[in-house]
Amino acid sequence: MRKDRLEAFSDGVLAIIITIMVLELKVPHGTGPEALLPLLPVFLSYVLSFIYIGIYWNNHHHMLHATRHVTGGALWANLHLLFWLSLLPFVTGWMGENHVAPLPTALYGLVLFMAATAYWILAHVLIAAEGADSFLARAIGKDRKGVASVMIYAAAIPLSFFEEWLAKAIYVLVALMWLVPDRRIEKHPPPAD
Amino acid sequence: MRKDRLEAFSDGVLAIIITIMVLELKVPHGTGPEALLPLLPVFLSYVLSFIYIGIYWNNHHHMLHATRHVTGGALWANLHLLFWLSLLPFVTGWMGENHVAPLPTALYGLVLFMAATAYWILAHVLIAAEGADSFLARAIGKDRKGVASVMIYAAAIPLSFFEEWLAKAIYVLVALMWLVPDRRIEKHPPPAD
Amino acid sequence: MRKDRLEAFSDGVLAIIITIMVLELKVPHGTGPEALLPLLPVFLSYVLSFIYIGIYWNNHHHMLHATRHVTGGALWANLHLLFWLSLLPFVTGWMGENHVAPLPTALYGLVLFMAATAYWILAHVLIAAEGADSFLARAIGKDRKGVASVMIYAAAIPLSFFEEWLAKAIYVLVALMWLVPDRRIEKHPPPAD
Amino acid sequence: MRKDRLEAFSDGVLAIIITIMVLELKVPHGTGPEALLPLLPVFLSYVLSFIYIGIYWNNHHHMLHATRHVTGGALWANLHLLFWLSLLPFVTGWMGENHVAPLPTALYGLVLFMAATAYWILAHVLIAAEGADSFLARAIGKDRKGVASVMIYAAAIPLSFFEEWLAKAIYVLVALMWLVPDRRIEKHPPPAD
């Protein structure tokens, strides 16, 4: 099974997700600042989700670069990840249009939680095929950042119903934590293809 | 004629189909669970169709990997398959928004039936060019799963008008049957490119 | 300048055009055949436009396969072709929703006319760079089918205002004429990359 | 880190942006010229934005062709550029539907300004990794056209509130200035990959 077609398909889906999210920014009818202002929360949600898709694309890129074999199970683990990321435009639009409501904020966190879990599953399906001594296994290591993200999202979901703004602040902070590129893989020499 | 551009174009179309389906999940106006609940059938239709596109992408990937030559006829057989799959977002939305109506369920089955038939045609156009002794011909074999799917969909379409829920259960069962990856091709060594 | 990125970008744009056209098939509110019937003209327009994009993709694929060098001018000639093809979803929707009106039928013909002209320009920009003795120049030859299509579309546009159905029949006939793959290039051996 | 996946992802995003912009051209309800006429400003905005995306794709293509190494910082500088370009469909639709209003024209200029700035940042992130003596650094040179564009957009934004038509004329003129392909890179031999 060839890795390049998996990468191409994932790139295609991520490129479409990152771009159709902007369709939630509906062209307003008025022409003044009062027409633009209500779009600000939708815009900020869009920025956050754009960064998240960028992070996933970046880390996915690194992880597959360090991978030699793609099994049938990895194809489905990858589709599972893309499924949850494909729901990001929906929850981005809902949270953006209802910027002080707890349920949209919680659902946004749920999608982030499921996507982070799906990424963790994909990483472990790939490592299982590569072997515990593989370059990928050593590069991913204990994956503290990935595990921490899953746990933080899990905490932010119930928090949305009490301190809704704090849950959002957490989503922003986790994104900032990931903006630092994954040095674990980058610092090692890539395996020969 | 080069196989890689056919794969790239198919990947592009499948990536767009799988992603624009989520646009049928319209952002609701309310912010409570009562705003989300009516979306549940649309969401479940989306999950089913996402899995179907994943199955087609996966099997298409395997089949073309085992193919050496792509003829002009294969290009059109491939476009014919993509045509029927491109109608999946429409029937997914219609079935999802009308979850006890027979006609949307029957039409969903019709699109699955036509896509499965188009896949069968594509497989046989490719085998005709590769030869009966080719790696692809042996890998596809009698294609019992493909033929069975076509017949099951054909039975589910009229069934939609009598036991609508049973037709839907059949669509789910056929998807589960295909989630098992196509071992016929995977177990053989791939041909040299 | 590299040919593969031009092909990849064109494939991407054509894949998106062919797929977003289906968004003009709006999910109906009713669940009976009377809800589906008004969509039939939109569906038929979609089928015709899908075939046209398929033809362009197919011929574009052949033409670039026979090309060795891509100049800056060819990039813009290619974008010019993609521009006119990008208008196909709009005119497909307008003609489909207004199936006996002359102006939408004429505008559909105008977009086909401009796209065919843009394809002709692209072919000649590529030939100019390859040379009159090149493989591409011999493969394209006098391009009778391309020139004929341009002239037929030019005749169909005014005809839309008198015999609207005849103009549509012409669009279908030209598509059928092109469904025969372009043997001129296929029968020659491809140049070494 | 591999350059080809960065190119493929950028091509995908640019192909989607250039194509979904046409969705702002909503299919009109009437069938006469009076139904088409109000779409003219939206159409002209679409043409301008299509040309701008074409220019960015073209220059991006050239710049990455001259690049040997893609760092983690370059991935994010590239995503930053794609972010601003992804807002082009929104401002194109808003400016097109409100063709004598100052704020939409200013916002269109702001997005062009931010995209041009992001392109400048990307160029300098790439040059920093390649080195001051690199092929890329010599090819980009002082980047007078890029710097001039940023300054011209900065002037056009406030101008929108006084002479709105002049700001639009400036956007068209800058596009025409860029339609001339970037000879700086094209005239040099490309580096070996």
Percent share of chain D, pLDDT over 70? 92
CB D98 within 8 A of CB D136: no
Minimum mean pLDDT range among A31-35, A162-166, B181-185, D94-98: B181-185
Which range among B137-146, D150-159, D175-184 has the greatest average pLDDT? D150-159
Give per-residue pLDDT as tens, D48-68. Answer: 999 999 999 989 988 998 888
CB C121 within 8 A of CB C77: yes
For the cut 90, the answer to whether the pLDDT of residue D160 exceeds it is yes
DSSP-derived secondary structure for A65-114: HT-----HHHHHHHHHHHHHHHTHHHHHHHHHHSTT-HHHHHHHHHHHHH
Q: So what's the ipTM on this one?
A: 0.89
Residue range A144-150: mean pLDDT, rounded: 91
Residue B186: predicted pLDDT = 52
Between chains, do D72 and A186 touch, taking CB under 8 Å as contact? yes
For the cut 70, the answer to whether the pLDDT of residue B189 exceeds it is no
Using pLDDT thresholds of 50, 70 and 90, give the confidence band for residue B93. Answer: very high
Give per-residue pLDDT as tens, B114-123. Answer: 999 999 999 9
Using pLDDT thresholds of 50, 70 and 90, give the confidence band for residue B13. Answer: very high
Nearest-by-CA chain D residue for A61: D5
Q: What gap in Å lies between CA A58 and CA A62, rounded to an integer?
A: 6
Q: What angle do CA C124, C125, C128 make, to 5 degrees?
A: 80
Give backbone dihedrals phi and psi of A166, rounded to 5 degrees, phi first. -70, -40
Q: How far is CA A79 from CA A11, A72, A75, C81, C147, in A?
A: 12, 11, 6, 34, 45
Which D-chain residues 4-63 have CB contacts (< 8 A) with chain C?
Answer: 7-8, 11-12, 14-16, 18-20, 22-23, 25, 27-28, 31-33, 36, 47, 50, 54, 57-58, 61-62
Residue B109: predicted pLDDT = 97
Residue A1: predicted pLDDT = 56
Residues of chain B neighbouring A17 (CB-CB closer than 8 A): 19
Residue C157: predicted pLDDT = 96
Residue A74: predicted pLDDT = 92
Residues of chain B neighbouring A87 (CB-CB closer than 8 A): 22, 25
Residue C134: predicted pLDDT = 86
Give per-residue pLDDT as tens, C85-139. Answer: 999 999 999 999 887 899 999 999 999 999 999 999 999 999 999 888 888 888 8
Give per-residue pLDDT as tens, C29-55. Answer: 888 899 999 899 999 999 999 999 999
Residue B94: predicted pLDDT = 94
Residue B192: predicted pLDDT = 46
Residue C132: predicted pLDDT = 83
Residue given tokens 């189909």 in the structure block? B17
Residue range A125-140: mean pLDDT, rounded: 88
The mean predicted confidence, pLDDT, of chain A is 89
Residue range A180-187: mean pLDDT, rounded: 54
Using pLDDT thresholds of 50, 70 and 90, give the confidence band for residue A107. Answer: very high
DSSP conformational letter for B38: G
